[in-house]
Amino acid sequence: MKFDLLMQHSRLVIFHVSLLLMAILLSSISGEFVPLETIEWSDVIGEGSIALLTIFWTLAVIMSRPSGKVTNLLVIGLSLVTFSAILDLFDEFMAPISAVNWISLFESIPAAIGMLVMSYALYLWHLEQLALNQQLQRRELDYRWHQEIDAITLLYRGSYWKERASSLISNKVPASIIVIDVVNFSYVNAQYGIVEGNRILREIAHLLLMNIRNTDLVCRYAGDRFVILLPQTNLQDAFELINQIERSIENVAFKPSNKNVSLFTKVKSVAGRLVLTETTEHTLSKLNQELDTLGEHAA
Ligand SMILES: Nc1nc2c(ncn2[C@@H]2O[C@H](COP(=O)(O)OP(=O)(O)OP(=O)(O)O)[C@@H](O)[C@H]2O)c(=O)[nH]1
């Protein structure tokens, strides 16, 4: 949960607190306190828990989600349910002072509307999640392991790649491998600083993702080195992909911030087969050695 999101959603916070206060105010002007011995404490615990939990869920939504329609609708729906829950709770402590218990009319209607609004919000959330899953597809092969995500490029780390490659070996799925290294990356760091270097690594990761298919997996291997797993792909297609990747990266003009310059980056790459009879470490180590001895494609 991020507390800065609480500030960013200040209007939603004000809306939720206002409804909460309005429910307390309405309850207090519509009735008078009943003697303690007539209170049903089991009802108080049940209804109080609902009120507290809806407040907690609202806070959780506000502190976890970015601004937008889904967040607004979730908070509006939850606030209406909280409103009804507070009226319901106070109902246990107060007896109506007028003949018509108009408060009870308010008890269920906001909750019903709130549930409808939340159902629509959850439907939109589902659509949003489908779009996010699509974006994630080329970042994860067939299962999610969030602690293995590299914070700079948001790609999975090499260990995840090895895990997925070993799984292909166990299932005897043929595959090709590409290892990519940014040429002269230490120059970028020295010239523009580590923060800009990180940004360029992130941009290169995006370009790599753009170049691969949904069935492929690209991971950050280490430093300025990336590794791609291409299931059911022959070596010729892997070399074709290398060509496309190298061309797409060398044609992009990166713009380091605060400098009016364009930075062109190059990568060098090698491709090989995933060998079903040896460990992924061994195959990768051979490809890394080949990459280290490779003459730079860059000028
Ligand atoms: N900004 C940034 N730099 C990193 C990160 N990890 C490694 N590096 C830098 O990447 C550079 C890698 O250096 P080298 O392995 O010599 O590679 P190179 O300078 O690209 O040289 P060649 O590969 O021979 O072309 C070093 O300067 C590291 O400091 C990182 O997470 N962020």
For domain 140-293, the CATH architecture is 2-Layer Sandwich (3.30)
C-beta of 182 in contact with ligand 1 (< 6 A): yes
- Note whether 174 and 215 are within 8 A (CB): no
Burial label for 51, CB within 10 Å (0-12, 13-18, 19+), is buried
Distance CA 235, CA 287 (A): 13
What pTM did the predictor assign? 0.64
On whether the CB atoms of residues 220 and 205 are closer than 8 A, the answer is: yes
Contact 253, 262 (CB under 8 A): yes
Which tens digits make up the pLDDT trace of 141-171? 666 666 678 889 989 999 989 999 999 999 9
11-33 pLDDT tens trace: 999 999 999 999 999 888 888 88
Find out whether the beta carbon of 133 lies less than 6 Å from any atom of ligand 1. Answer: no
**Domain residues of the chain, as ranges?**
3-137, 140-293
Cα 96 to Cα 3, 25, 76: the distances in Å are: 40, 14, 28
Ligand 1, pocket-test mutation among 153, 185, 198, most atoms within 8 A of CB = 185
What pLDDT does 271 receive?
Answer: 97
150 lines ligand 1 (CB under 6 A): no
Per residue in 221-265, pLDDT (tens digit) is 999 999 999 999 999 999 999 999 999 999 999 988 777 888 899
Instruction: Tell which one of 198, 224, 246, 293 to mutate to probe ligand 1, the residue whose CB is within 8 A of the most ligand atoms.
Output: 224
Say what the ipTM of the complex is: 0.94
**pLDDT for 120-144, tens place per residue?**
999 999 888 887 776 666 676 666 6
CA nearest ligand 1 atom 23, residue:
183
Residue type, 37: E
